Each structure stands twice: as C-alpha cells, then as structure tokens.
Structure 1
Amino acid sequence: MARVTFKFAASFLPKKACDIRSKLENLRVLNMGSCQYITNIPNLSGLQHLKELDLQSCKNLIEIHHSVGNLAKLQYLNVENCGRLKIFPRCIKLPFLEILHLNNCSSLTYFPDVLEKMKIRYLQLVVTGIEKLPWSICNLTRLRRLFINRHQGVTELPISIFLLPELEVIDAKRCGKWLSSNPNEAIEEEIWPMLCPNIFAIYLQECNISDELLRTYLTRFINVKHLDLTGNNFTILPAWIKECQYLRHLILNDCKHLREVEGIPPKTEYLEAINCLSLSSESRSLLLSEELLRAAVIRQSDNIVFKTFFCVPLTCIPDWFDHRSKGASISFWFRNCFPPLCLCLVFKSMDDVYDNCHVTTSVCINDKEVYWNELWNRDAPNVDHILVYDLKENHISWDKMGQACRKSKWNHVKWDKMFVSE
C-alpha cells in the first residue's frame, strides 16, 4: 500500500480540527506542526494505519483526544513546544511507538499510564509541568535514556524506573522528589541485583538527594561509570561508593552540606567538588590523596582522549608534590621521553569581583609551544580551590614535539597558566 501523507498549512484549519476520520482512514503521516489555529485534536480512532503524528509548535493546542493513545500502529508522536496543552491521553497503548516528544509542554501536569510494553528508546521531559511519572513507566522496556528537567511543580521518579532492563542513562535535573516513597510500590530485595544491569550514567542535579536515599538506592548501581550529584543535600558520601569499581567520573559540585567523604572509588579519574564548603579537612585531603591521583595517572598513560582532572576546595598544594613554584609558571628539564606529570595549581576565590573566570594553560619546550588547553571556563568559585590534572606526552602534538625537542639532549619545559575574568 502506498504511503499517504497529509500536511496542513498553518492557516488552513479552524479553531477546532475538522473530522477527518471517514475520508483519511489509510493515512500514514499526519503533519499539523505549527498550525496556530488548532485548539483541539478530535477523535482519531478511525486512523488505525497512522504511523506519524506531528503536532509540534501548535501554540494554542489545549486538548488531544484520548483516542490518540490507542493508535495501534503509531510510531512517532511529537507535541513538542505546545505550551498550552493541558489534556493528553490519560492512558497509552501504543506497542510500536518509538519516539515521543513532550518537551516544552509547560502546562501538561501528568504523564500517561503505560498500559503495555512499548518500544520508546529515548524519553525527554524538559520544561514540562509533569508532577510525577507513573509506576507503569516500567513498561517502557526498550527505554535507554531518560532526560527530565523540571519546570514547575514536583517531579517524582518511581522506584520502578529501575526495572527497565535496557536503561543506560538517567538524567534528572531539579526534581523535587527523586524516588517514590509509596509503601505499596516496593521492589523485593532479591530483585535488586538484577536492576538496570546496563546503566552507566546517573545525573541527578539538584534532586534533593538525602543521606537516606543515597544509602538506600544508589548503592545498588555498582557498575555505574558516571555519577553527577551536583547541588544535593546529603552530608556524607558513604564508604560503599568504594565498591563502584567502574566509576570514573564523580561530580559533587555545590553540595553545600557535604561534610564527610568516607571513600572514593579506586578508579576515579575525573572528580569535581567545587564549592563543597562544609567538607572536613580530612575529606578534602582524601579527595587529593597521592595514592588516588598516582593510580589515575598511571591508568591513563595509554588514554589519548581523556585526562585526569580533580578540583577540590583547598588552599595549599599537597606535600607529596615534588616541585613547587609561586606565580603563574613552573619549569623543569627532561631527556629522551617526556615524563608523565601530575600538575597542580591553586587559584583564589574572586566571585565577589567576577562572575566568570577562564583559565587556560600552555606548555613550551625549548621556547616552542607544543600544548594548549582550557582548564576552567565557568562561574568563579566561592572559595580557594586546587585544580589537578595530568599532562602526558600523548596529550601533546607529536609534530610540535618533534620540532621542539633535541634528541638525546636535555630539553627545557615551561608550563604557564593564564587567568582571565569577566
């Protein structure tokens, strides 16, 4: 059967969409995107062959008939940028739906119940009014990535999110409640080891994560590689995190109540604890321990893409650094192979003077620049911080290295940093 597509001009439709069920029963694609005159999508139950429904940027759309939630062959549904949309199907039974766009539906306060297993792989709920996700979200069995950014109200993620067998990434920002506390929505203890076996990244920025939530739930994801807990309320990073053998990136920025760090994953290579103002001196030292940093640099000796990077609120360079220098530069000599290095710098708080600071670094060998990198381009920190990163030969241009170095002779290296604020 031939593909049938129908696209409405933006000014074609009256305020209430006409009844198109009888004459367009073989319709495959219905595109009403950017139609400013649509306020209501009527009963579409007669379009059982419909595969794509595009309603994006219908600024005055208020209601979508519940029949849309039962279009058996629908694969694509886009209602993005429909800021006045309030009524959406309460239940969806769309076994072939792969793409659902709900971004910028700021008046929509609920997500529909998912009545059967669906094929959606990516779900974005950015700038919506959705208050919570239903327990039945676990029927999105093919879901790999979930992105949520709260606009208003409270977004609550049910524990059932962790029953999704293919879930790889959870990215939830500014969700007032992260996990359901409903006692009737429990997961049996013996099931926990099977939860989200493929998850490798958890980003939970400003999600009101408490010590209890951190201890009760996040302990289950020992295979995670990236963990971002920026702006949360927990006071202790518990010792169990040392069991996360695969964790490489750990972000703790703006955790203003964090006091104690009981352990760090042994393979951590990227760590930020910017503006963690309540950290004890012992915890700050632990975050920059010689053992942790040396291990990170050694592991990355063959890694061309990523570099070790640590940033912690401290005012003094740790004692175990071999060579120190005041000012904006440091120099040394090497012969034959360029040595693996762990470089450290302290920069003072200037947030009362500047909103943003920009730190770059360069390396010159025998007065020829062979390396340049941006270390920091973000808001100025509230207190003094130490920044540590590794510099190895495989981060430097081989062509420039060959031109600058004198073989079998001593070579002079100068490392400079530049600080620019605005």
Structure 2
Amino acid sequence: MMPLSIYFLAPSLDLACFLAKLYICCCIKYVVVLRSYSLCLFVFLLQPVEKLKKMDLSYSEHLIQIPNLCGAINLESINLQGCISLVQIPSCFKNLDKLELLDLSDCENLKDGMENLPLNIRELKLCRTAIEVLPSSVRFLLGLLDLDMSGCNKLKDGIENLPSNLKELRLCGTAIQVVPSSIGCLMGLSHLDLYNCEKLESLPKSIWTLKSLEWLDLSNCPNLIELEDCTSSSLRYLKISGCTGLRSIIALPPSLTCLDANNCTSLEEISSWWTPTVQDYDPQVQHQNNKSEGEIYNFEQCLKLGHDTCINVIEDGARRRILSALDVYLYLYLFLSLRKI
C-alpha cells in the first residue's frame, strides 16, 4: 500500500525501479522535494506534481529529457548541474511561473532553448555550457537578478540582450571581444565579472556611468589596452591583475578602495588624478568607504610603472579617506592644503 503523501524522495533509493512502480501504483502529486544524484534513465517519466517545490537531478549523466512539468505550478528551484546529456532547455519551463532558481552548470552539451526560460526567474546558472549566443528573448526576463555564464567559452554574441534589472553578471572565460554600450542601461548592476576573457579588447564609456557598480573584475584580459576615464563611476573594487597588454588608466574613481594590478607588465601610466569638488561629495558613498577595513593597492610586477605613480595612488587614497570624515564645508579647504605638502 503506497502512502498518499510523500515529502522527500532521497538519492539512496533505486529511483529507476521505484518511480516505475510509483508511476503505476499511485498519484504522487504531494511530493515536495525530489532528489537524485545517480539517476540512470534516458527518459525520466514523472506524473505532474502540484506540490513539488524543489527538484534536484544534478549529475544525472544519462538524463536527456526532462518530464513535462506543466502541472508543477509551485516549483521554485531546479538543479540540473552536471546533466551532460541535456542539449536544450525544455519548452515546459516557460510555464513555471514560480521558478526562481535554475542551475544548468556543467551541462556541457546544452546550447539551445533559452527562449523557454520563465519570465520571473531570479537566478540563472549556465556555467560551462555550450551556449554561443544570448537570444533577444533574454531581455524580457525582467525578474532576473543574477546571471552566471562563467566558462561558456563559445559565448561571443548577444550580450546586448541582457535584461535591465540584473544586479550580478558573470561572464568569465567567455569569447566576447567587446562589451556593448547597452550595458549602461543596467542601472542596478553592482557586480560584473569579466575575468579571463582573453579576447576582450575594450570597454564602453557607458560602463563608467553605472552608479551601482561596485565590483569589476577584468583580471587576465591580455588584449585590453586602456581603461578610459572612470572618475564618474562608483567602483570600490577593481581587479586588473594579469592584464599584460594594459598600458594606461586614464583616471581612478574617488570611491575606489581596492586596486589589484598585479602582473600588469605593460602598465606605464595612470595619467590624471581626480580633483574633488563639492558636487563630487556624496555622503552615502563616503560613509560606505569609512566602513571598509582599509585600502589595498597591489602593483606587484608592474615593471614599467614608475615608483612615483604608485606612491601618488596611495597618497590620493589616503587624502580621500581623510576628507570623507570631514564636514563638506571644510572639504575643499583641506584638500587644497594637502596638495601643497
């Protein structure tokens, strides 16, 4: 006699045999969590389950087809990481209105079906998949806040189709050559990771207008030659280590508290310095800087960068730190005094 309600199906079960019997014997619409780490099915059959909230079929290497989940109206999380036989996102996913997290990391043969993503999804992990282009349908995923496409080494087009409400974006190790100017429309973006984008050649000016952007990782982008004037940005953390082709930085933003330029062997100059005005003084930004543990500047192996330039970066950071603790009316007065020392 099978129970009428099942909350959890554990990975220790012989799921292939168990579900075959379960499918015939009873309705499993009350299952809430389904997990299996050793599923050995070519086609996984499952009746629609109304109460199902989480489905974890990660590392089911022979899983090539997802069941029809149209009846799983309460599904919030799907983990298909490591399902290397999957080649596309199934069409039934577009009807999962409550789905917030979809993990397809390490589905190394997955490259199609992006148009089947539900509009309300909040977190999408596509790391190390075979996706080559972001289709225009992605821009309509207005609920998407976190997109991780790290290691998608075939991805090179469609970056202009990113949805406007993104807060975190990881494109490490992709084949993109240019970041489109449309990235300036991602007004809530706070974290951008372009680590190890070996073909990346330039960044648009619009990236420095993003007031929410605090973290930018450009490490190991050897074809990046120059960083344009970024004084208008709100960056706090800038990582450019291993950018062996980088020759100059036009200017650093006043909000910066961490600069990692380790092994920038071609870096020769940081050509101009931020000169503050009353209009530049943002109490909220300065308050955040005050709470940081300290400023970090790493110029190790920057063999072409002059010693005086390194010292100027550190001194300029110290001045900003002192000024941030002062009343705005004394702000410019003290700055001008320090510049004469």
TM normalised by structure 1 equals 0.59
Q: Which has the larger radius of gyration?
A: 1
Q: How does 1:22-421 map to 2 (within 5 A)?
A: 23-24=26-27, 26-29=29-32, 31-42=34-45, 44=47, 46-65=48-67, 67-68=68-69, 71-90=72-91, 92-93=93-94, 94-114=96-116, 117-118=119-120, 120-150=121-151, 152-154=153-155, 156-161=157-162, 163-165=163-165, 167-177=166-176, 195-207=185-197, 208-211=199-202, 214-215=203-204, 217-232=206-221, 233-239=223-229, 241-244=230-233, 246-280=234-268, 282-283=269-270, 286=271, 303=290, 305-312=292-299, 313-314=302-303, 317-318=307-308
Question: What is the Cα deviation at residue 31 of structure 1?
Answer: 1.7
Distance 1:70 1:216 in 2: 47
Distance 1:215 1:68 in 2: 41
Aligned to 1:353: none
Question: What is the Cα deviation at residue 173 of structure 1?
Answer: 0.7
Match of 1:7 among 3, 9, 32: 9
Question: What is the Cα deviation at residue 95 of structure 1?
Answer: 0.9
One-letter amino acid of the structure 1 residue matched with residue 246 of structure 2: L
Distance 1:81 1:229 in 2: 27
Larger fraction in strand: 1
Question: What is the Cα deviation at residue 17 of structure 1?
Answer: 5.8
SS at match of 1:271: strand
Distance 1:247 1:171 in 2: 16
Distance 1:173 1:147 in 2: 9
SS at match of 1:100: strand
> Any conservation in 2 of the 1:129–1:153 contact (CA below 8 Å)?
yes
Distance 1:308 1:176 in 2: 32
> Any conservation in 1 of the 2:225–2:245 contact (CA below 8 Å)?
yes
Q: 1:21 to 1:267 in 2, by over 3 A?
A: farther
One-letter amino acid of the structure 1 residue matched with residue 41 of structure 2: I
One-letter amino acid of the structure 1 residue matched with residue 297 of structure 2: F
> Any conservation in 2 of the 1:16–1:41 contact (CA below 8 Å)?
no
Question: What is the Cα deviation at residue 307 of structure 1?
Answer: 1.3
Q: 1:6 to 1:309 in 2, by over 3 A?
A: closer
Distance 1:61 1:303 in 2: 51
Question: What is the Cα deviation at residue 202 of structure 1?
Answer: 1.2
Aligned to 1:331: none
Question: What is the Cα deviation at residue 10 of structure 1?
Answer: 4.1
Question: What is the Cα deviation at residue 204 of structure 1?
Answer: 1.0
SS at match of 2:128: strand
Residue-by-residue CA offset, 1:12-33 (whole Å, 9 max, x unaligned): 4159967838932623425241
Residue-by-residue CA offset, 1:302-353 (whole Å, 9 max, x unaligned): 845421111221476429969xxxxxxxxxxxxxxxxxxx69xxxxxxxxxx
Question: What is the Cα deviation at residue 78 of structure 1?
Answer: 1.5
Q: 1:229 to 1:304 in 2, by over 3 A?
A: same
Q: 1:253 to 1:320 in 2, by over 3 A?
A: closer
Q: 1:269 to 1:98 in 2, by over 3 A?
A: same
Structure 1 unaligned runs (5+)? 323-341, 344-387, 393-422
Larger fraction in helix: 2
Query: Could you tell me the percent identity over the aligned residues?
Result: 21
> Any conservation in 2 of the 1:17–1:41 contact (CA below 8 Å)?
no
Question: What is the Cα deviation at residue 89 of structure 1?
Answer: 0.5
Q: 1:275 to 1:60 in 2, by over 3 A?
A: same
> Any conservation in 2 of the 1:6–1:27 contact (CA below 8 Å)?
no
> Any conservation in 2 of the 1:78–1:102 contact (CA below 8 Å)?
yes
Distance 2:310 2:99 in 1: 57
> Any conservation in 1 of the 2:130–2:154 contact (CA below 8 Å)?
yes
SS at match of 2:139: helix
C-alpha RMSD of matched pairs (Å): 4.0
One-letter amino acid of the structure 2 residue matched with residue 255 of structure 1: C
Structure 2 unaligned runs (5+)? 322-341
TM normalised by structure 2 equals 0.71
